[in-house]
Structure 1
Amino acid sequence: MLTNGTEYTDEALISRIVRGETALFELLIRRNNTYLYKVGRAYPYGHEDTQDLMQDTFVAAYLHLGQFERRSSFRTWLVRIMLHNCYRKRQKWSAKHIAAAEIQPGMVPAFSRGSETDTNQTVMNKELRSVIEQALERLPLDYRMVFTLREMNGMNVAETAEALQISPANVKVRLNRAKAQLRREVERSYSAGELFEFNLVYCDAMVSRVMEKISSLK
């Protein structure tokens, strides 16, 4: 099994994958699993729907890898594909389905404090889970997505603006408003980075799903 080797940049991996080293795509999946998972959950979709959207996004990225023009980072390009898939799925859902898509207790993944290992993951208690669900549900989608990309995924203002196709000024405004609504209820107990972690227990499964799908396309 490949590891997330720091000796390869995304650009170097893409060049080698395009030339036929398909197995290296696993590294790009592992590097970006967490980012895409947070986007899907923030939209908000449940765990299973988010995984399906992630798979679709990775496969689409693989199929169009030769078209990646490097005008933005690979991560930004990938997030834009994920956002497009999330939006398209949302458009297909009825109002009833959207209401039913609220985060359910069994769908909330374990959170991590400073470590991604299973032994350090903290399962949220019912009261805190409820606080976070209610706080996030009250955020308008536009604010929730900016908060997710900037504070949870660590994208800078320019990357966020490009991913969402809005101005940098709008990114800053939306982020400030999102923080104002969330800080009191959420950041009092948990840092932004702890929300919606894609646990390592899911990472291997996603790699297997995507690589199996890619193999079937040959």
Structure 2
Amino acid sequence: MNTNAQYSDQELIQRILNKETALFELIIRRNNPYLYRIGKMYRFSHEDTQDLMQDSYVQAYTHLYQFKNKSSFRTWLSKIMVNECYRKSQKWTSKNVESLENNTPAFEKLSSVETAHNVMNTELNSVIEKALLHIPEDYRTVFTLREINGLSVAETSEILSITESNVKVRLNRAKTYLRAEIEKFYNKEEIFEFNLIYCDAMVDRVMKAIS
């Protein structure tokens, strides 16, 4: 299936709810890179991150009828993934998926040289990823959602259940930490992308789980 099919997320959701289950594959392919980055920023291994992604997709599919389009689907799905990461790391008790959209809605661009677009540049991205693993998790997570996954302040606030002001503060602190860390090393490493060679396998895993 082509991830660039003409369906919007909302159209896909409606068709899936109308028993066109096979179309959930498009949901998976569109969101694999975003969920993978979240898992890696919580320092989970490649294998654990894949397990968390599968669990998140299954939860999303099971509760798809509860998505009310109050936020973007990617925000809703990202929040499920964040909850799964927290649950696995035992840092908090995950909230029920039914309440994901009931929270009060809550990376500003780095600079003209450090925009999210440049973050995805292969060489710069590898440096930032290495540096990110050395800064506190709260700041690392906000930076990943804002600058790498391109979510808004409000969306990040909603996903993490923190205020928009807190999002901005954490992002600024993340940038401060990053500048200090980046000065320590400049080595190319594997990019935190969900390589296409894994994409088909993830689709197979999730589709088997929901069938």
> TM-score normalised to the size of structure 2?
0.77
Q: Give me the whole-angstrom Cα distance separating, in 2, the residues matched to 1:77 and 1:41.
A: 19
Mapping of 1:130-209 within 5 angstroms?
A: 132-133=129-130, 135-186=131-182, 195-209=191-205
Q: Residue 7 of structure 2 aligns with which residue? A: 8
Residue pairs, 1:1-218, within 5 angstroms: 2-91=1-90, 132-133=129-130, 135-186=131-182, 195-215=191-211
Distance 1:73 1:199, change over 3 A: same
Deviations 1:143-178 (A, max 9, x none): 010011011111111111111111111111101110
Q: Which segments of 5 or more consecutive residues in structure 1 lack a partner in the other structure?
A: 93-112
1:42, 1:71 → 2: CA distance?
Answer: 26
1:16-62 residue CA offsets vs partner (Å, 9 max, x unmatched): 00010000000010010000000000011010000000000001100
**Residue 169 to residue 199, structure 1, CA distance change in 2 (3 Å):** same
Aligned-residue CA RMSD in angstroms? 2.9
| C-alpha contact 1:39 1:149 (8 A) present in aligned 2 | yes
State whether residues 41 and 133 of structure 2, in contact with CA within 8 Å, keep that contact through their aligned partners in structure 1: no
- Secondary structure (helix, strand or coil) at the match of 2:194 reads coil
8 Å CA contact 1:4, 1:27 repeated in 2: yes
CA contact 1:132–1:185 (8 Å) conserved in 2: no
CA contact (8 A) 1:36 1:54 kept: yes
- Greater fraction helix: 1
Indicate the residue corresponding to 2:101 in structure 1. Answer: none
Structure 2 residue ranges without an equivalent (≥5): 92-116
Equivalence for 2:100: none
- Counterpart secondary structure, 2:90: helix
* Identity in percent: 59
